[in-house]
Structure 1
Amino acid sequence: MKKSLVALALLGASAGFAQAQSSVVIYGTVDAGMIKRTDQSLAIGKRANNTLGFKGVEDLGSGLKALFQLEIRYEPDSGTIEQGGGGVQRPLFQGQSRVGLQGGFGMVRIGRGLTAFQETSTQFEPFHGIPSPAGFQTDLMVAGYTSDPLGLVGNSTNRFSNAVFYNSNVINGFQINATVGTKESSSGSAAIVGRGTLANPQYRPGSEASANPYSVSATYTGAAGSLMLAAERNAVESRLLSIAGYVMATPELKLMATRVQQDRGHTFFNSEEARSWVVGANYKMGSGKILAGYGQKNQGALNQGMQKTKQMSIGYEYSLSPRTYVYADASNKKGPTIPSSMNIYALGVNHAF
């Protein structure tokens, strides 16, 4: 009898211990290749973000979990922390740094990460939403929009810092995602002249947001495809609206399209707006996959004519294993840039761990 009681007590203690168990996973991506642009010499670069991440989950019981995620981004050719425009070194946890809770209510996190729109939209982009020069995510997919105009110089343009993130559970294929940021100053941004002057810019370095940034997206996903509606407002009150969708025409063929409109009237005298659309396809052939896309972006003052950017890209991936693939990309981009027509070629390898 005593032995049975002891065994029962030990079993109960073990069950309690198991409930409080936590797990931490180390993950990442190493992507490097050779890139040639029309206006540059051959260089070693990357197609996708190179990451080193740590994420963990603790079971709190009754269906409630605590979770966190920290993600470092780095340059593959030098081993340094990821750099932004002009060679500016970005923060250590540039990718994300969030902690939160998950349960029957969905998932709530606090910190820094992709906005609801930016995170959701990647599944409708033919190059997986990676920042490849051949991809569309950083420019045409967002009509030149930036989620973080007052962030540190060189920061990623598709994230909110000092924000609360919510993702609902998926119910009958439907999901709601929302992000709300505070007005906190990043204390390191460049001046935005906007409706001001060089001497008195509309947003000085270190300015707070003039309105709370927010981002919302709603998706429905079924066996045949998916549809997204999204809206976002950044710290300088530029507004974005987007509709996107994809269909699985066959088990091997995915067709997708995106339409975006951006209103920048808060910082432009002429109520400048931007519009863009992208269509794309992915086609699997055994271990290989073809990626293709075409898009246009129109931006400028409505009463002065719109400046048009056009991009056409094609890529090929071949999986050597479930975690490693080689790739080849080719892209042409025409627009009000120097040079006005730019060709980009890339060849490399991507490994996930």
Structure 2
Amino acid sequence: MKKSLLALALVGAFAGVAHAQSAVQIYGTVDAGLIKRTDQSLAIGKRANNTLGFRGTEELGSGLKALFQLEIRYEPDSGTIEQGAGGVQRPLFQGQSRVGLQGSFGMIRIGRGLTAFQETSTQFEPFRGVPSPSGFQTDLMIAGYTSDPLGLVGNSTNRFSNAVFYNSPEVNGFQVNTTIGTREGSQGSAAIIGTGTAANPQYRVGSDASANPYSVTATYKSGPGAIMLATERNAVETRLLSIAAYVMATPELKLMAAHTRQDQDHTRLINAETKAWLVGANYTIGANRFLAGYGQKSPDGLSKTKQVSLGLEHSLSKRTYLYFDISNKKGPTTPPSVNHYAIGVNHAF
């Protein structure tokens, strides 16, 4: 009897230790608002991604820990899994699904997630990477580039699947982030044939990548400012180069600028180069944050795209804010000038 009681006590003690050394967190974002665009009726929509995520760590000893993160994305107006272009329903863990280790060497993960460039560059964009048309991340910040041209139909285009992600420790303000993907088949992607008769039709549905995709960023932070250098190559060998910087001119005012070049000469026979630049600012006063940006995208031999955006975020608490956005985008589209208006609420939990 005494041995049984001792055994139960030991099991309970070790269970308590294990519980103390591991942790799982449920987190997410709920964002919904009224959206109005030129030539479209008023609709319920979103400014930022709506997420439901699970992340956890386990202490392994000697400064080493295991970690994982799974992230679902959903539509706020219908409660369904997030939809891509044409209403295509995206995978369950569209946001990310990664597992890895962290220690003095940095952090290494395996799975699906934002590429090193796509993740790091949000620090240098005035709307912090939100996918709203008022923001710049999905077009001008990246010069119209896509990280995942052979991905499943409807997938977001700023992530690598089947990839290894490495984040180095920050040493004296310097850090390197790297993502390397495999050449696995695209498993149902759309054919990549470009635009017009000058396109290269070599990538068909289900194509393997012609090269391992990769993404590398180097950032340096010093005092009130930071600079980023980045390069990325996707699965069809489109290449991207980017330089960006920001400075906290005052504790309330953040100024930023970026320049990006995309080279599609592997898949396009003409008009292969696209350049883009933007400037932006954030100004915080009390509970209000003002956002402003202007940028241009210039494809070689084609018409420019120009965008100006203004936004206001009013904090109601540490987790909840109201937003008001207005933007105008001019370019080779129909119609050639598009206005976007949004008002809504964002809550993080």
> Where on the TM-score scale, by shorter chain, does this alignment land: which range?
over 0.9
State how far apart, in whole Å, the 1-side matches of 2:235 and 2:306 are.
Answer: 28
Unaligned 5+ runs, structure 2: 1-5
What's the offset of the Cα at 1:187?
1.0
Aligned pairs for 1:330-341 (under 5 A) are: 330-341=326-337
Residues 45 and 319 (structure 1 numbering): CA distance in 2 closer, same or farther, change over 3 Å?
same
Which AA in structure 1 matches 2:337? S
* Cα pair 2:55 2:68 within 8 Å, conserved: yes
* Cα pair 1:194 1:202 within 8 Å, conserved: no
* Cα pair 1:36 1:344 within 8 Å, conserved: yes
* Cα pair 2:126 2:293 within 8 Å, conserved: yes
Unaligned 5+ runs, structure 1: 1-5
Identical columns (%):
76
2:47 aligns to what?
Answer: 47
* Cα pair 1:45 1:77 within 8 Å, conserved: yes
1:343 aligns to what?
Answer: 339
2:233 aligns to what?
Answer: 233
Residues 311 and 141 (structure 1 numbering): CA distance in 2 closer, same or farther, change over 3 Å?
same
Aligned pairs for 1:30-179 (under 5 A) are: 30-179=30-179
Aligned residues: 340
State how far apart, in whole Å, the 1-side matches of 2:201 and 2:170 are.
Answer: 44
Q: Relative to structure 2, which stretch is displaced further, 157-166 or 268-277?
A: 268-277
Aligned pairs for 1:182-221 (under 5 A) are: 182-194=182-194, 201-221=201-221
* Cα pair 1:140 1:297 within 8 Å, conserved: yes
What's the offset of the Cα at 1:223?
2.4
1:266 alignment partner, SS class: coil
**Structure 1 length normalisation: TM-score?**
0.93
2:323 to 324, 327, 341: 327
* Cα pair 1:19 1:60 within 8 Å, conserved: no
Which AA in structure 1 matches 2:174? F
1:123 alignment partner, SS class: helix
Which AA in structure 1 matches 2:56? G
1:118 alignment partner, SS class: helix
Q: Relative to structure 2, which stretch is displaced further, 146-155 or 216-225?
A: 216-225
* Residue-by-residue CA offset, 1:185-225 (whole Å, 9 max, x unaligned): 12111111259989x93101010100000000010112211
What's the offset of the Cα at 1:306?
3.0
Q: Relative to structure 2, which stretch is displaced further, 61-70 or 305-314?
A: 305-314
Residues 339 and 55 (structure 1 numbering): CA distance in 2 closer, same or farther, change over 3 Å?
same
* Cα pair 1:328 1:346 within 8 Å, conserved: yes
1:119 alignment partner, SS class: helix
* Cα pair 2:294 2:308 within 8 Å, conserved: yes
Which AA in structure 1 matches 2:74? Y
* Cα pair 2:167 2:177 within 8 Å, conserved: yes
* Cα pair 2:46 2:132 within 8 Å, conserved: yes
* Cα pair 2:271 2:302 within 8 Å, conserved: no
Residues 51 and 282 (structure 1 numbering): CA distance in 2 closer, same or farther, change over 3 Å?
same
* Residue-by-residue CA offset, 1:311-342 (whole Å, 9 max, x unaligned): 00000000000000000000000000011000
After superposition, the CA RMSD in angstroms is: 2.0
* Cα pair 2:307 2:330 within 8 Å, conserved: yes
Question: After the TM superposition, which parts of structure 1 deviate over 3 Å for at least 4 consecutive aligned residues?
Answer: 13-16, 194-198
* Residue-by-residue CA offset, 1:234-278 (whole Å, 9 max, x unaligned): 000000000000000000000000000000000011251100001
2:313 aligns to what?
Answer: 317
1:186 alignment partner, SS class: coil
Residues 15 and 227 (structure 1 numbering): CA distance in 2 closer, same or farther, change over 3 Å?
farther
* Cα pair 2:271 2:299 within 8 Å, conserved: no
2:136 alignment partner, SS class: coil
2:3 aligns to what?
Answer: none
State how far apart, in whole Å, the 1-side matches of 2:163 and 2:51 are.
Answer: 22
* Residue-by-residue CA offset, 1:262-310 (whole Å, 9 max, x unaligned): 000000112511000010000001000100000000013xxxx232000
Q: Relative to structure 2, which stretch is displaced further, 237-246 or 271-280?
A: 271-280
* Cα pair 1:195 1:201 within 8 Å, conserved: no
Q: Relative to structure 2, which stretch is displaced further, 311-320 or 267-276?
A: 267-276
1:288 aligns to what?
Answer: 288
What's the offset of the Cα at 1:21?
2.1
State how far apart, in whole Å, the 1-side matches of 2:306 and 2:195 are.
Answer: 29
Which AA in structure 2 matches 1:334? K
State how far apart, in whole Å, the 2-side matches of 1:257 and 1:211 are.
Answer: 31
Residues 63 and 15 (structure 1 numbering): CA distance in 2 closer, same or farther, change over 3 Å?
farther
